[in-house]
Amino acid sequence: MLGILFYCFGVMYTPGPVNVLSLNRGVQSPFSAHIPFCIGVGTALTILFSLIGYAGNAIMNDMMMPILSAMGSLFILYLAYKIMFSNVDGLLDGEQTTSLKFRDGLFMQLLNPKSMLVVLPVTAVQFPAAGIDGVQIALWSVGLGILGFGAPLSYTFIGAKVSRYIEDPFYLKWFNYLMGAILILAALDMAYNHVYLSLI
């Protein structure tokens, strides 16, 4: 059972679209303002672990993956646009940037193919191997959802610490461009690997 936790921690806490976005929000907004987004991420993972844990791989088949990935790519591009062209004037004087909400975290994680890298191996292989079934699937799903909540939250915390050293809006603006560019690359990678390659 420790293998499940180690695997999930390894995948969830590596840089990805959700964690990069959380790092950016940590730099630009109060730590507490990003908590609803992180709860949305954890809730999405709980839903996915539960649904696929009980219904099996039939929910996420080869036909659904390109559709989910295309929607996820578009959503990530939209968030990258919001970051790159957000107004940073006055942020360092205490004004707050637009906070991402619970629904943003929920939909972004539900539409993120990286979620499937966590969920499918765990529910299809590790749960059965560990004898996890029935109500235990629900309990593990909630626990792993909480673990997932902690990933973007930790990146937000790091961003909040980094923000103390940013004193010029010029650097904040270029930080936004960098974070937006990373999200665009993540979206293009997602579209190429999970949409384009699956259709050719």
pLDDT digits (tens, 9 = 90+) for 83-142: 788 665 544 444 455 678 999 999 989 988 778 778 877 887 788 878 888 899 999 999
Distance of CA 197 to the CA centre of its chain: 23
* Mean pLDDT over each residue of the chain, to the nearest integer: 81
List Cβ neighbours of 184 (8 Å cut-off, separation of 6 or more): 76, 77, 80
* DSSP string for residues in 125-182: IIHHHTT--THHHHHHHHHHHHHHHHHHHHHHHHHHHHHTT---HHHHHHHHHHHHHH
pLDDT for 16-28, tens place per residue?
788 888 888 888 8
More confident residue, 98 or 197: 197
pTM, entire model: 0.75
